[in-house]
Amino acid sequence: MTTACIPTHAEDAARAPMFKQRPIPPQEPCWYQGHQVRWQLNAWQKNWLLDSGSLTQRLTQASGGEFRVEILRQAIMPTYTSEAIILGIPHRQQALVREVILMGRNTPWVFARSVIPLSTLSGRLRSLSKLDNRPLGALLFQDPNLHRSAMQVARINRQHRYLPPRLKATHPDCWGRRSRFMLDSKPLLVSAVFLDPSELA
């Protein structure tokens, strides 16, 4: 892969000066536009990383219905630099961050991180802060007004702070994907890191 991180959307590219002034810290994964690196991905990676459908639905089917969400943390906290850029919010502005493990057949399959600007949590979207152990994807894909950006992909290893320590120790090298959703013209960012590809072959 190339060594430069790539903004996700045309409007992100328009903010290139901001992007250059605030380089992505080395602790963050370097995310690439999926369509630009598609040719470097194998069949499994294309199938799971670039699919624009509901990941929750696919994992439920792959697990034979033995699917559940384990919450790691949910808190109002600063975003990563690249997340703020994609969401169009000020650097280090606080947002609602929710991190969970998507379990299939009682095995950690996916680490998921959602970043929701506080300005998004208004009106009917206030319910996004009260998901408990319900999967976010199930709610998103029920909404007919949902718009989703193109996918970004990244290779995530021990040098990055993205995975929680308990997962980093056992999953030192993973692939992840993320995209921005728009609901009622309000943004949120959802990423998924695939922990055990052999389970999803």
Is residue 150 scored above 80 in pLDDT?
Answer: yes
- The answer to whether 128 and 136 have CB atoms below 8 angstroms apart is yes
pLDDT at 5: 54
Which domain covers residue 71, as residue numbers?
A: 53-145
Residue 73 counted as domain residue: yes
Query: Quick one: pLDDT at residue 24?
Result: 62
CA distance 131 to 67: 16
CATH of the domain at 94: 3.40.1410.10
Residue bearing the bigger pLDDT, 14 or 80 = 80
Q: What percentage of the chain reaches a pLDDT higher than 70?
A: 87
* Mean pLDDT to the nearest integer, 132-143: 92
pTM value is 0.87
CB 194 within 8 A of CB 48: yes
Any idea of the CA torsion for 90, 184, 128, 15, to the nearest 10 degrees? Answer: -20
Please determine, for residue 76, whether its predicted confidence score (pLDDT) is greater than 90.
Answer: yes
Judge whether 137 lies within some domain. Answer: yes
Instruction: Answer whether residue 118 is part of any domain.
Output: yes
Query: Based on the structure, what is the number of domains in the chain?
Result: 1
Any domain includes 111: yes
Q: Is 50 exposed, middle or buried (0-12, 13-18, 19+ CB in 10 A)?
A: middle
Binning pLDDT at 50, 70 and 90, where does residue 199 land?
confident
Query: Residue 14: inside a domain, yes or no?
Result: no
Q: Is residue 102 part of a domain?
A: yes
Question: What digits encode the pLDDT tens for the residues 12-43?
Answer: 444 333 333 455 666 889 999 999 999 999 99
201 pLDDT tier (thresholds 50, 70, 90): confident
- Return phi, psi of residue 187, to 5°: -90, 150
- Band of pLDDT at residue 92, cut at 50, 70 and 90: confident
Residue 123 domain-assigned?
Answer: yes
